[in-house]
Structure 1
Amino acid sequence: MAYVPGTALLAALVVGCSASTGTGGSAPDSKPGEATVAAAAPGKYRTLPDPCRAVAPSALKDLLPVAAELPEDQQKKVYEGAATITYDTDRRVGCRWKSEAPDASHTLFIDFERVVSYDPSVSDDDRAREVYTKKETAAGLSSPSAAPSSTKDAEKRTSPSSDSASGSASHALSGPASEDGNANDPAGKNGSDTGGSTDGSAGSAGSADESLLPRTLDDLGDGAFLDDLLTRAGSTAQNRTVSVVFRTSNVIVTIEYTEQPAVPTGPPDSKELQDKAQSLARKLVDKFSE
């Protein structure tokens, strides 16, 4: 019988044991068939633009017609706007402009909300779609093809505005916190100057133009809707606030445009306010696409 040195024998035993395991070099804790779940894609937008610089001076002159008649220093102050107070400017920002005249005042408010998903299996875009859908549903427009079937339906939906949570479209756009948990509420604290009881919908009371009723819009961003709220201000005057809300990727934009007559001359023109609000919305969609 041949003599095998101790060191050589130990090496042979180690090689033999390794070959008999049949693991192929895989890690001892690996679990066959277990797949790694990839994290959902982040949203397109990681920051937000300055809202007070988001509207071009030419657009502001159209939306705030009286401001052009003011002295230059006052014009500059009006067009600069006032930024809303937020706690995280990467998540939510807003700006407000107002011009006043003896016969009427105009107020413009815009709000940018960047939605972030904290669930790795849900993308920011999908989470933003959920937030937008809740706003659309709260406004009484539950799906892209759904719209109030009659003036009566629209009048039922546009309930009186108040500072408490309600089913009105005004509160569909804002609340004590954003839908994704952000505690900022620039739209709610600095909403349009409306109040009192609702006295109708788009168009003159009792004879609303079907094309001007609150509705979804199919040509703005990844989803959009328009609301038109007529409220009483004082004993006879009526305010009108037209709101346009749209989503582009993981950002939700809210526009509120209000005309408040100083004298009882009848309700502000719905079509004019809607056209101007939609025109601004298209400009903002293009700005986010730059």
Structure 2
Amino acid sequence: MQRKAYVPGVAALIAALLAGCTGGGALGGEPDDSKPGDTSGTTAAAEPGKYRTLPEPCGQVDRGTLDSMLPGIEEIPGEEQQERAYEGAPTVTYDTDRRVGCRWKVESSDATHHLLVDFERVVSYDNSVSDDTRATEVYSSKAQKADLAAPSGTPSAGDADEGGAEGSAPEPSDGAETGKGDGKDKDKDKDKGDAGGSASSDSSASGSSGSPENAVTAPGLEPRILDDLGDEAFLDDGLTTSGSATRHRTVTVVFRTSNVIVTVEYDEQPGRRTEIPDSKEMQDKAQELAGKLADGFSE
């Protein structure tokens, strides 16, 4: 039988065609294994946040601070009950890598005090947005709800004539986990009436140790930006007078350090209707605690 002739040119052509079929599909012969819409090959991922974990919140407040902020805790009867009060109660969260908190509550004959410390670690799931940038957005949302006075005592466009502290009531932020929903429904118009010395709504207030003038936050103590705490911070101060047996003040300090947002919420409800919690004292204590927590992140 006669063998078929071997044609080198045909073999070379076939080899060239096969190479073209199995080569890279992108221009320039480079392999293209990216998914549609995937820009990871051309866009660098944003920087991750500085903090990857959160501290144990109930252990962040020392006993001296608790003694100061929760009067009556030292007089709690029974060593076991007192120890439980100092320990605090962890807040319920669904992801302790992202959010943790602790609450304290002490009742005495003079007043009931609540303290909340909350840590939130913000994570951006967008590769083009850093954790710090996302944390800044979350912080800004909280600050906007607080109806803050402008920095350096300059009234903002939406502030009232009284100095910017008496605007519309802020909406609760993260009420379920931060406790903002408990005492933030401020009746500020009624506060103004109390500040004017009107005795028609509460005739007994004139003879109380807590002066009605303290119902409205004094100038310099209004909700405001704080410039010496973390990367950015603000303080909110609200007095609730309606719908409760006593006047009820809540001071909140919120600050951001990198991708962690810290909230300190301090609340006092006097035992007598005629008393009004002292705004400056509560603010000083809340800011002092916030400063200690901020120092812990810088160590």
Question: 1:143–1:93: structure 2 CA closer, same or farther, 3 Å change rule?
Answer: farther
Aligned mates of 1:205, 1:47 — CA distance in 2: 41
- Residues 118 and 263, structure 2, Cα contact 8 Å, conserved in 1: yes
- The residue identity in structure 1 corresponding to 2:174 is S
Q: 1:60 aligns with which of 55, 66, 74?
A: 66
Give the structure 2 partner of residue 108 of structure 1: 115
Q: 1:88 aligns with which of 95, 99, 102?
A: 95
Deviations 1:200-240 (A, max 9, x none): 38993576421111100000101110011001266662011
Question: 1:206–1:89: structure 2 CA closer, same or farther, 3 Å change rule?
Answer: closer
Superposed displacement of residue 138, structure 1? 1.6
Question: 1:73–1:28: structure 2 CA closer, same or farther, 3 Å change rule?
Answer: closer
1:261 matched to 2:264? The reply is: no
Superposed displacement of residue 74, structure 1? 2.2
Give the structure 1 partner of residue 174 of structure 2: 174
1:197 matched to 2:187? The reply is: yes
- The residue identity in structure 2 corresponding to 1:243 is T
Superposed displacement of residue 195, structure 1? 6.0
1:156 matched to 2:167? The reply is: yes
Aligned mates of 1:235, 1:94 — CA distance in 2: 26
Aligned mates of 2:93, 2:245 — CA distance in 1: 36
Question: 1:225–1:150: structure 2 CA closer, same or farther, 3 Å change rule?
Answer: farther
Aligned mates of 1:223, 1:210 — CA distance in 2: 22
Q: 1:76 aligns with which of 77, 80, 83?
A: 83
Aligned mates of 1:219, 1:96 — CA distance in 2: 25
- Specify the SS of the correspondent of 2:287: helix
Give the structure 2 partner of residue 120 of structure 1: 127
- Correspondence list, 1:11-22, <5 A: none
- Correspondence list, 1:121-140, <5 A: 121-140=128-147
- Specify the SS of the correspondent of 1:156: coil
Aligned mates of 1:142, 1:126 — CA distance in 2: 24
Aligned mates of 1:195, 1:27 — CA distance in 2: 62
Superposed displacement of residue 192, structure 1? 4.4
Comparing 202-211 with 270-279, greater Cα deviation is found at 202-211
Give the structure 2 partner of residue 209 of structure 1: 218
- The residue identity in structure 2 corresponding to 1:223 is E
Question: 1:130–1:261: structure 2 CA closer, same or farther, 3 Å change rule?
Answer: same
Aligned residue pairs, count: 257
| Percent of residue pairs bearing the same amino acid type | 55
1:98 matched to 2:98? The reply is: no
Aligned mates of 1:86, 1:273 — CA distance in 2: 27
Superposed displacement of residue 100, structure 1? 0.7
Superposed displacement of residue 134, structure 1? 1.1
- Residues 85 and 105, structure 2, Cα contact 8 Å, conserved in 1: yes
Structure 1 vs Structure 2 CA RMSD: 3.5
Aligned mates of 2:97, 2:31 — CA distance in 1: 44
Aligned mates of 1:206, 1:99 — CA distance in 2: 23
Give the structure 2 partner of residue 3 of structure 1: none
Aligned mates of 1:98, 1:138 — CA distance in 2: 26
- Structure 1: runs of 5+ lacking an equivalent: 1-5, 19-24, 160-166, 176-184
Superposed displacement of residue 153, structure 1? 3.5
- Structure 2: runs of 5+ lacking an equivalent: 1-6, 20-27, 34-38, 196-211
1:46 matched to 2:42? The reply is: no
What's the TM-score, normalizing by structure 2? 0.73
